[in-house]
Structure 1
Amino acid sequence: MKKILLFMVLFIGILQVESVYAEQSIFIWEITEIEIEHGGDLGEALEIIKRGIKLKEGYEDPGFLIENDR
């Protein structure tokens, strides 16, 4: 068991992890904070956030829209 765990730790260390930073994203968020009262409508808050997501200047996509995965 110890050999398997050691192998897994070494293997994970070899894997390259790539981070995506906000400044590298093509999106901007006009709203960065939102308050929801206890028992408030989470759906309404999410709609406000989705309406605030835009493409950064220089990126054009006439069909850009946010879709729900419902």
Structure 2
Amino acid sequence: MDKYSIANTTKAEREKLVADAVAMNLLGAELLTKENRSLLQRYVDGEMELDELRKTIIDKYKKH
């Protein structure tokens, strides 16, 4: 995951990574919620690392 850390990527690279992941998601999964899209944007903006993002989303669904 260090390869995709905020310190090792530019905002443009993070935008492309997220866009690619969202496109793959559209092939067979439900649409992302507004909340999850907002979390992804925090990664793009350099506010949240992927590990933290993943944990936040998993914890959210464990509570349901």
TM-score by length of 1: 0.28
Query: Greater share of helix residues, 1 or 2?
Result: 2
Query: Greater share of strand residues, 1 or 2?
Result: 1
TM-score by length of 2: 0.29
